[in-house]
Amino acid sequence: MKTIHWILLGIVTLASLALQYFGPPHPHPHAWDAIPLFYCMFGFVGCVLIIVVSKFLGKVWLQKKEDYYKGDDDV
Amino acid sequence: MFELAPAFWLLAAAALAVVLPGKGLRAALCVAMPLVGLWQLWTMGVGASAHASLAGFELTLYSVTKVNFVFAVIFLLISAVAGVYAWHVDDRGQQVAALSYAAGALGVTLAGDFLTLLLFWELMAVASAWLVFARREARSVRAGVRYLLVHVAGGSFLFGGIILFYGQTGTLTLQALTPDMGAAAWLVLIGVALNVALPPLHPWLPDAYPKATITGAIFMSALTTKSAVYVLLVLFPGWDLLIYMGLFMALYGVVYAVLANDIRQILAYHIISQVGYMVTGVGIGTALSMNGTAAHAFSHILYKALLFMGAGAVIQATGVSKLSDLGGLAPKMRGVVWLFMIGAFSISGFPLFNGFISKSMIVSAAGEAHHYAIMLGLLLASVGTFLHTGLKIPVFTFWGKDQKLETKPIPRNMYVAMGLVAFGCTFFGVYPHALYVLLPFDAEYHPYTAYHLVEATQILTFTFIGFWVLRAKLAGEPYLALDTDWFYRRGAPVAQAMVVKPVNAFFGAGAKARDGIASFLASNFGNPRAWFGLQKGSRDRFDPDVERAPLGSGLALILLVFVAIFASVVILVP
C-alpha cells in the first residue's frame, strides 16, 4: 500500500460521507443512521471481530493437524 | 420430439456423449446442448408443461413457471460456459457426467411433481459425485464416496417425506408445504436442506468441492445448492425458521473461511455463506425477499463460477491449491488476476457488479420486514465475504510472499470462459434491469440509491482497512478445521466396530467351523480302508493304483478260475 492508495481511500470515504449528509435522505431511515460514521465503524469492527473470533475458535477448538483423519491427508 | 423439455435434451446429449468419438465433438456437445436447451426454454416460455403417467401416478415432467424460468435460464447459461471452460478436457466420463448433472439440475428445476423431482435429484447426486471421482486421486475418491453416501441419505429423507406427503394429500403436485403437515414437511425439509448445505448438514460441500476436478467444480458450484434453493423457494416460502437458519449459514461460512487453507475450500465455505442470504430471503417470504433469493442465486452462480474458474486456473498453472503454499503469482498470471478480481468485486457487493444488485435486495427486504438484527447480521456476513474472497485469497495467492512457483500456460478456452462470465457479472451490475425483468414476483426495487452506495462504500473501505491492519493473522495455515463431517469421518470406525465387526466375526466363526468339518471329513473319509488298518498308501486319499491289486493279478485269477473250470470239465465229463 503506497501513500497514494491511502489518499484515494480517504477521498472515497470523504465522498461517501458527503453523499450521506448532503445527498438525498433515505425514505425509511434506520435507528442506527443517527450514529455518525456507523457504516465505517461497522466495516472495521466487523472485520476485526470476524478475524479475532474465528481465529480464537480455531486455536482453542477447531484447527487440527492435516493428518487428523488418519490415512486421509485432507484439507 | 421438440416437445421434450431441456432436461431431456441434455440427457440425450449425455447418452450421445457415451458413444461419440472424438474429444472435440464431445466438447462441442457440452457447449451446444445447453444453448439448444436455453433456446427451447425461451421459445416455450412460461406456462409450457408436459404430462405423463407412470404406474398410476400422474406426473408433470416439466412445468415452466415464472419462478423456475429464471433458475433454468442461469443453469443452462452456466452449463454452456462451463463447457467452454472444460473444452480442453479429454475425459469421456467427465463430459457424460457433466451433461447428466446439468440435466438433473434442469429436471429438478422444471419438475411439476415430487416424483419427477426426486428422480432428477438422485441423478444429480450420482453425476456430480463422478466429477469428484474423476480427479483420480485417493483422497478425491474417498471424498467422493462420502459425498455420494451423504447425498443418498439426503435423498432418502426427501423420498420418505414425499411418501408421507402422498399419503396425506393423495397428490404428487409440487406445492408449498406448511409446518402443520408434520413429519412429511420436515422430512422433505431435511432432504432439501442437505442439498442447500444448511449446517449441520453441509460438510459434504467444503469436503468434496476442493477435491473435484478443476472443471467439474464449476458445475458443482453452480448446480446443486442453487437447484435446492429453488426447491426451498417453492416448498417452504415464509417459514420463519429459515430466516434464522439463513443468517446462521451466512455467518458460519464466514467463520470457516477464516480457518480454511485450500483456496477452493475458502470459496466453498463462501457458497454456504452466500446461500445463507438466499435461505433468509425464502424465510422472510415477501415478494421483494423472494425476488432477492432468485436474483441472488442468478448473480451468485455467475460470480462463484468465475471465482472457481480463477482458482482452477491457478491450480491448473501451478498444481498448488493451498494458500500457505501460494504467493507472488500476479506478475505471471495478469489476466487471471483481473478476471478473479471481477468475481471478487461481484461477490463482495461492489457497486457496478452483480452482487450489489441482488444481495442488497435481500438485505433491504429484511429491513422492510422489520428484521433489523437479521439485516445487520447479513451486512456483517458481507464484511466477511469481502475479507476472504475479495482480500484474503487474492492477496495471498497473487501477491504476498513470492513462493517462486513454476506456472504452466493455461488453455485459452479457460480465459474465454472466464471472460464470458466476467462480462455477465459486470453487465448485470451495470444494467440490473436485464435481470429484474426475469424475476417472478411483483416488487419494485432500485439498487443504486444514494443510501446503498454510501453503505456499501463505507463498509467495504473500512473492511479493507481492518484487513490491512490484521493481514498477518490471515495468512493460510497448514491445518484443517473440524466441521460436522467429524461425526461420520471419526464415527465411521466406531460404527464399524459396533455394526460391521460383530457380523464379520459371526460369519468368520461360521466359516471356521465349516472348514473344520470339511477337513475332519476329508481326513477321515478319504480312505475307508484306513478304518480297518488295511490302507497301503495315504490315510487321506484313496488311490486305486496303490490300494487295489494290480490288473495282472485280477487277470491271473480269472485265468486260474477258467483253467480250473476247463480242467474239471475235461476231467469230469467223460
Task: Answer whether A36 touches B (CB < 8 Å).
Answer: no
Look at residue A67 and tell me if it is in a domain.
no
Neighbours of B521 (CB within 10 A): 10
Q: Which residue has the higher pLDDT, B530 or B128?
A: B128
Write the CB contacts of B571 (distance below 8 Å, at least 6 apart in sequence). Answer: none
Nearest of B308, B356, B299 to residue B336 by alpha carbon: B308
CA distance B323 to B382: 21
pLDDT tops 80 at residue A74: no
Look at residue A16 and tell me if it is in a domain.
yes
Q: Do B479 and A39 touch (CB under 8 A)?
A: no
Q: How confident is the model at residue B552 (pLDDT cuts 50, 70, 90)?
A: confident
Cell of B436: 429484474
CA distance B113 to B166: 11
β-pair partners for B426: none
Q: Which long-range contacts (CB under 8 A, 24 or more apart) does B370-377 make?
A: B371/B243, B371/B284, B372/A30, B372/A31, B374/B243, B374/B244, B374/B247, B374/B280, B375/A30, B376/A32, B376/A42, B377/B247, B377/B250, B377/B251
The mean-pLDDT minimum among B48-57, B200-209, B405-414, B454-463 falls in B48-57
CA distance B380 to B387: 11
pLDDT of B501-519, one tens digit each? Answer: 999 999 999 999 999 999 8
CA distance B253 to B548: 84
Neighbours of B379 (CB within 10 A): 22
For residue A33, give how far its alpha carbon lies from the nearest alpha carbon of chain B (Å): 10
Task: Answer whether A19 touches B (CB < 8 Å).
Answer: yes
CA distance B38 to B80: 10
CA distance B357 to B365: 13
Neighbours of B327 (CB within 10 A): 21
Determine the residue among B451, B485, B496 to mutate to test chain A binding: the one whose Cβ has the most chain A Cβ atoms within 10 Å.
B451
Average pLDDT over chain B reads: 93
Look at residue A72 and tell me if it is in a domain.
no
User: What burial letters (b/e) apply to B228-255, b meaning 16+ CB within 10 Å?
Assistant: bbbbbbbbbbebeebbbbbbbbbbbbbb
Q: How confident is the model at residue B247 (pLDDT cuts 50, 70, 90)?
A: very high
The two most distant CA atoms of chain A are separated, in Å, by 62
- The amino acid sitting at B383 is V
Q: What is the pLDDT of residue A75?
A: 44
Q: Do B462 and A31 touch (CB under 8 A)?
A: no
ipTM score assigned to the predicted complex: 0.94
Average pLDDT over chain A reads: 88
Write the CB contacts of B256 (distance below 8 Å, at least 6 apart in sequence). Answer: A54, B206, B269, B272, B481, B483
Q: Give the A:B interface size as CB pairs under 8 Å.
A: 160
Nearest CA in chain B to A11: B461
pLDDT of B171-200, one tens digit each? Answer: 999 999 999 999 999 999 999 999 999 999
Task: Answer whether B492 touches A (CB < 8 Å).
Answer: no
Q: What is the mean pLDDT of residues A68-72?
A: 72
Neighbours of B553 (CB within 10 A): 10
For residue A22, give how far its alpha carbon lies from the nearest alpha carbon of chain B (Å): 10
SS3 B322: strand
pLDDT tops 50 at residue B1: no
Nearest CA in chain B to A45: B466
Look at residue A75 and tell me if it is in a domain.
no
pLDDT tops 50 at residue B227: yes
Q: What is the mean pLDDT of residues B454-473?
A: 94
Q: What is the pLDDT of residue B115?
A: 94
- The owner of cell 440490473 is B432
What range defines the domain where residue A29 resides? 3-62
CA distance B427 to B421: 10
Nearest of B175, B1, B15, B30 to residue B89 by alpha carbon: B30
Q: How confident is the model at residue A68 (pLDDT cuts 50, 70, 90)?
A: confident
Chain B hits for A8, CB-CB cut-off 8 Å, are none
pLDDT of B301-321, one tens digit each? Answer: 999 999 999 999 999 999 999
pLDDT tops 70 at residue B333: yes
Residue B411's alpha-carbon distances to B84, B281, B326, in angstroms, are: 11, 39, 21
Q: Do A75 and B480 touch (CB under 8 A)?
A: yes
> What are the residue boundaries of the structural domains of chain B, listed by start?
1-235, 237-478, 491-572
Q: What is the pLDDT of residue B184?
A: 95
Q: What is the mean pLDDT of residues B214-223?
A: 97
Number of structural domains chain A divides into: 1
Q: What is the pLDDT of residue B541?
A: 79
